[in-house]
Amino acid sequence: MDIRFGIGYDVHQLTEGRKLILGGVDIPHSLGLDGHSDADVLLHAIKDALLGAAGMGDIGKLFPDTDMTYKGASSIWLLEQVWQRLTEKGWRVNNIDATIAAQKPKLAPFIPTMKQNIAQTLRISPERVNVKATTTEGLGFVGRQEGISSYAIASLINDAN
C-alpha cells in the first residue's frame, strides 16, 4: 500500500462582473474571482494537492490557460477530470483538508454544500472533506479585499503499490 500527501495553493484577484464561486457554490457577493476558468480558488488548491500527491504535476500543466477548452470551465468538472486521471493510476482519495482566506463575504453558511460538492465529485464521504474559512484580520491583499486565496492538503492511497 502506498500513501502519499500533497499540498496545493491558489489565489485569484477579486473583480467586478464575475461570479464568486467557491467549492462549486455560487456565493452572493458584489465581486467575483478573475481567471481563465470559473476561478474557484478552493477547488484549484484541492486539485493541485491531489495532483501533487500523485506526482502528476499541477493544474497549469493539465489545464493550461492557453487552451480555450478550459475558458470559463467549471472547476467541479475539472476536479472530476483530475479524479478520473487519479483512478486510472490506481489512486483513491483518502481525505482533503482545505482553508479559504477571504475577508468578505462570510463563508460559514456555504461550507456544508462545498464539502458535499467535493465529496460527491471525489466519491468519498463528506466526513473525509474538511473546509475552513478565515480572514486575515485586514492584512495583505486578502485583508484589503483584492483577492481570495486557498490552501489544501490531500492524502491518496494506492493499494496496488
Annotated binding-site residue numbers: 10-12, 36-37, 44, 58-60, 63-67, 134-137, 141, 144
- Chain centroid offset of residue 10 CA: 8
- Chain centroid offset of residue 147 CA: 15
Give every CB contact of residue 146 below 8 A, 6+ residues apart in sequence: 13, 14
**Which residue, 41, 53, 43, 125, is CA-closest to 89?**
53
Question: DSSP assignment, residue 88?
Answer: H
Give the annotated binding-site residues for a divalent metal cation: 10, 12, 44
Is 143:103 a contact under the CB 8 Å cutoff?
Answer: yes
Is 21:34 a contact under the CB 8 Å cutoff?
Answer: no
Q: 24: burial class by Cβ within 10 Å (0-12, 13-18, 19+)?
A: buried
Sign of CA dihedral 8, 13, 14, 19: negative
